[in-house]
Amino acid sequence: MALPLPPGLIPTEVAFLCEMEMITIVPRQRLESMSLLSGKTPALRPPHRAQVPLWLALLLKKQRRANIVAPPWLYPDSLKDIINHETNVDPEAFSPPPPPPTRSDGRGAARPYGQQSDPRDGDVVLSPPFLPSCTQDAPAGYLPYHWLELSETLLAHAADDVPSAAEVRALLRDLQEVRAAKMRGSTVHLDGGGGVLNLRGVGAMELAESRGFVLGVVEGVRKLGASAEASRREEEEEGARGEGRDESDDEMGF
């Protein structure tokens, strides 16, 4: 008999999905285009930069055939700005996600990334986390959807390509602690069963790691609310029975 699967994605599955994020590399050798399930990869021509999936970038890095370009949000100055926003600017909420990038349509106007030049009804317009937010063109000061697992992967397998890797590790540790405390503290809004958690800006790995804790809090609040409701109904029933006895006593002249 198969064991029941836990609700949602587990951290290992989130890390696997993160490997599909597009990232910028600087090839050191020529490599022709390859046909993959997700499409063809660009032909690599040193020293021209290219965007490939993270798993392919790590493979080429391991073979010393390419160097990885760290995204702008992984630089120390950008992480310091994000930590300042999390702790001083808005201590209650999470830092906002990166804004959707725009591309020129060749006619002097800009349109959202992934949208056709002549949009029609039914066209799919991509939005985070389905946008290339980990390439060299990503905006600084914003954490993408897979920020935690991608930064850990780069520091583990391509630390020499991350500027000031030791400082970045320390900043990421501080940022993770601040956001984890916010995630735990946000459960106070669930008191009474009518609260709503604002998860705007929360990353995929943060959701996977905090899902069990949040679901436990929700279940505990639900049980407390159910017991309080049961106690209230019992008091109302006892009060109604007491009033009925008083009325019968009055009618009998006692």
- Interaxial angle between packed helices 165-185 and 147-157, expressed in degrees from 0 to 180 and rounded to the nearest 10: 150
66 - beta bridge partners? 27
Check residue 150 and give its pLDDT: 95
Query: Cis ω on the peptide bond leading into residue 7 (within 30° of 0)?
Result: no
H/E run at residue 26 = strand 22-27
Check residue 115 and give its pLDDT: 52
Q: Which one, of 116, 127, 124, 172, lies nearest residue 149 by Cα?
A: 172
Q: Is the dihedral of CA 133, 134, 138, 140 positive or negative?
A: positive
Check residue 39 and give its pLDDT: 80
Q: SS3 sequence, 221-251?
A: HHHHHHHHHHHHHHHHHHHHHHHHHHHHHHH
Check residue 1 and give its pLDDT: 45
Q: How far apart are CA 153 and CA 61, in angstroms?
A: 12
Check residue 76 and give its pLDDT: 95
Q: How far apart are CA 24 and CA 136, in angstroms?
A: 6
For residue range 183-231, list pLDDT tens digits in order.
887 776 666 555 567 778 888 898 888 776 666 666 666 666 666 666 7
Which pair of structure tokens corresponds to residue 243?
């009033």
Question: What pTM did the predictor assign?
Answer: 0.74
Cα Rg of the chain (Å, integer)? 27
Helices (H), strands (E): how many in the chain?
Answer: 6, 7
Check residue 215 and give its pLDDT: 65
> Which regions in the chain score pLDDT beneath 70?
1-7, 101-130, 188-196, 212-230, 239-254
Other Cβ atoms closer than 10 A to 161: 18
